[in-house]
Amino acid sequence: MPVRDAEVADAEEICALIEEHARYEGNETLVLDRAEMTKHLFGPEPKAWVLIAEPPEQPGAVAGFAFCSWNFSTWEGRPGVWLDDLFIRPEYRRHGLGGELLAALRGRTSGRVEWEMQEGNEKAAAFYAQLGAQPVPGWIKYRWSAQAK
């Protein structure tokens, strides 16, 4: 299977993928602190986890990733997965790797797998609909950042 759990040796590649995704989405300035990210993913109290997609024809190459954390639904009474970032490098798209990553996430919980998508991303919306995922009507996302008072 082309999907595996990330290991500490993948930290540099994970940061590179996040930065590539940021550039793809128009953020030319994002640069991550590799040591800080390594601590958050692989330290004594990990805050998130990553699945890596490897193309079957190129073992060891990294085609993309899913960056996740656990959440919990009080109404369902069970844990779920929060997908913070899903990115497949352009040269590896249309080979089923995004679907493989999402199927691996689905297999890790009997609860919800949730994520956000930027408005207007019709290709992503079509891809998610093909999997059977649906937007959540009637909910508004809020963000309370550390800079807000």
Distances (CA, A) of 29 to 78, 118, 121, 144: 38, 19, 22, 22
Report, as residue numbers or ranges, the catalytic residues.
128
Output the pLDDT for position 1: 57
- Residue range 3-131 forms a domain whose CATH class is alpha beta
Cα radius of gyration rounded to whole Å, the chain: 16
Smallest CA-to-CA distance from 66 within 76, 56, 54 is with 54
Q: Residues 90-107: pLDDT tens digits?
A: 999 999 999 999 999 999
**Per-residue pLDDT tens digits for 30-58:** 999 999 999 999 999 999 999 999 998 88
* Higher-confidence position of 138 and 18: 18
Confidence of residue 149 (pLDDT cuts 50, 70, 90): low
The answer to pTM > 0.85 is yes
Neighbour-count burial of 16, counting CB atoms closer than 10 A to its CB (0-12 exposed, 13-18 middle, 19+ buried): middle
% of the chain beyond a pLDDT of 70? 98
- At 112-139, the pLDDT tens digits run 999 998 888 898 899 999 989 999 999 8
